[in-house]
Chain A
Amino acid sequence: MNVESELEKGNFVVGECLKCKKTVWPPSDYCSLCFGNVSIKDGPFQGKIIEFSKQGNDYFCLVEFNENVKIIGKITGETPQINQNVMVKKCGIQNGNYFFEFISS
């Protein structure tokens, strides 16, 4: 069980170093600070929209969860706002590519 296999199942989790407790993102085999082993840190995680734009009818947002975790994903059914609180509604891996969808929280 690792971060990617959880993401693949649709569970938004991040990595955490077993040694120094640093958050490890994007998923990696070892901690980038101390090369410690990585375990899974479960959510739910609260994030804030720090930037967004729109392609066609779809908004895409850059969301910051903490200083080490920023991701880009979709938000549907609402117009995003800067500093809006969001959570990951949906995530997964398709053809090797991650995808994320956010929802207001």
Chain B
Amino acid sequence: MANKVGIASYGMTKFSRDDIKIESILLESTKNAFQNCSNLNQKDVEAVLVSTNNNSKYLSAVLSEISGIKPKISHSVESLCNSGTNAIVSAYSYIASGLADVVLVAGAERYDSPGQVLEWDNSRGEFKHPIFWASIFTKSYKREYNVRDEELALVSIKNHHQSIKNPNALTKKEYTLDEIMNSKKLTDDLKLLDCSRPCTGGASIVLASENTINHLTDSPVWITGIGQKTTSASFTKNITFSAMESSRISANSALKMSKHKADQIDVIELHDAFSVCEPMALESIGVSSKGKGLELVKEMIVTDSPKINPRGGLMGSGHPLGATGIAQTIEITQQLQSKAESRQIDNPKIGLVHNMSAASTSSTVLVLEN
């Protein structure tokens, strides 16, 4: 039987547009993860995984050396924007299989990450920048469900509002509907404030087996569900442009593994790379029915509930690709530990992380419980 796997500690850096070496970002969040867990010693860590799209080489060995760890297993994980949760899944697998007992997963990215554009995807022609797939998704969603730009802007309003309470967020600035609607027009279907912003940032998490975790923390959070699905690498291979098929499949798998249903989830971090991604993800995960995702967003605003993207999502927090999935997982962990301070929702028991890459051609979903 597979070992149970929990989250023992975590550390973050502030998200910024600063010019910082990738190794320094990795080390800072790792240092914070150690300082957050007084019983954790470097010699406990048997595997070090680095999640990044940065071109620097051998980063897991470099991070191991500069943080005083001599792991049995060390390597990098790259999968564009869902590198972070994919690295967590790899760490989970090492522990569940018994190959390692304690694993450090460190994610980092710089503002100038090469992971922002998938050069290989020539079926996008000259329209390779993510704003083009986001425009196609947005137009398709608006057409399918008769949605107006003003309604999609609510996602940006909500998530920027929630980022005010996130001490590590990039912008920490609220925007009005007018400001969003009048922000720079990137295409007919996408404005600047409909987009998350690449940035510099790091996030580290320490996973441990059930046997060890009680020595490290008195409030472990367990990973009880995992779903991953890659449907393609090409954006144009998506079977629909108004829903996220890989997210639907991975959410189904994760919920099935955790033995929960979507309506039992108390708090969600989802991958709002662009405004339209939030309702599409809510519908694909099964939290909202088709075409109704924005109704839930409106309800969250009216009730001032931070249940969806409490740290401000990618739009409010910033999107350091390799760190994003780990930062999302840390937010849900803090929520389940009732350590989210002013962002805290009432007594959550079950949380979900949705992290995806390249126009939802690949998605990872985690279910966490305390």
Chain A residues within an 8 Å CB radius of B140? 51
Q: Which of A52, A55, A62, A99 contacts B236 (CB 8 A)?
A: A62
CA distance A94 to B126 in the complex (A): 9
Q: Which of A50-94 contact B (CB under 8 A)?
A: 50-55, 60, 62, 70-74, 82, 94
| Contact B187 A53, beta carbon cutoff 8 Å | yes
Q: Which of B120-153 contact A (CB under 8 A)?
A: 121-128, 132, 135-136, 138-140, 143
Chain A residues within an 8 Å CB radius of B143? 51, 82
CA distance A100 to B128 in the complex (A): 13
- Distance (whole angstroms) from the CB of A59 to the closest CB of chain B: 9
Q: Size of chain B's interface in residues, with CB distance under 8 A?
A: 26
Q: Which of A25, A50, A54, A73 contacts B125 (CB 8 A)?
A: A73
A35 proximal to B (CB < 8 A): no
- Distance (whole angstroms) from the CB of B2 to the closest CB of chain A: 32
| Contact A97 B128, beta carbon cutoff 8 Å | yes
A44 proximal to B (CB < 8 A): no
Q: Size of chain A's interface in residues, with CB distance under 8 A?
A: 23
CA distance A52 to B189 in the complex (A): 10
B234 proximal to A (CB < 8 A): yes
**Contact flag A26-B234 (CB < 8 Å), given A60-B127, A72-B124:** yes
B119 proximal to A (CB < 8 A): yes
A98 proximal to B (CB < 8 A): yes
| Contact B123 A99, beta carbon cutoff 8 Å | no
B274 proximal to A (CB < 8 A): no
| Contact B237 A53, beta carbon cutoff 8 Å | no
| Contact A54 B236, beta carbon cutoff 8 Å | no
- Distance (whole angstroms) from the CB of A36 to the closest CB of chain B: 20
| Contact A99 B188, beta carbon cutoff 8 Å | no
CA distance A26 to B242 in the complex (A): 22
| Contact B187 A72, beta carbon cutoff 8 Å | no
**Contact flag A98-B126 (CB < 8 Å), given A51-B241, A55-B186:** yes
Q: Which of A53, A96, A98 contacts B136 (CB 8 A)?
A: A53
| Contact B127 A72, beta carbon cutoff 8 Å | yes
- Distance (whole angstroms) from the CB of B242 to the closest CB of chain A: 9
Chain A residues within an 8 Å CB radius of B126? 73-74, 94, 97-99
Q: Which of B228-278 contact A (CB under 8 A)?
A: 234-237, 241
Q: Which of B132, B186, B190, B237 contacts A72 (CB 8 A)?
A: B132
Scoring B residues 109 to 121 as 1 if CB is less than 8 Å from chain A, else 0, what string do you get?
0000000000101
Chain A residues within an 8 Å CB radius of B237? 70
| Contact A100 B187, beta carbon cutoff 8 Å | no
- Distance (whole angstroms) from the CB of A54 to the closest CB of chain B: 4
| Contact B122 A26, beta carbon cutoff 8 Å | yes
Chain A residues within an 8 Å CB radius of B132? 53, 60, 72
Instruction: Known A-B contacts: A71-B124, A97-B122. Give 17 more (CB < 8 A).
Output: A26-B121, A27-B122, A50-B241, A53-B132, A53-B135, A55-B135, A55-B188, A62-B236, A62-B241, A72-B127, A72-B132, A72-B236, A73-B125, A73-B127, A97-B128, A98-B123, A99-B126
Supply 25 A–B pairs (Cβ within 8 Å), ascending by A: A25-B123, A26-B122, A26-B234, A27-B122, A50-B241, A51-B139, A52-B139, A53-B132, A53-B138, A55-B186, A55-B187, A55-B188, A60-B127, A60-B135, A70-B123, A71-B125, A72-B127, A72-B235, A72-B236, A73-B126, A74-B126, A82-B143, A97-B119, A97-B122, A98-B122
List residues of chain A with CB under 8 Å of any chain B CB: 25-27, 50-55, 60, 62, 70-74, 82, 94, 96-100
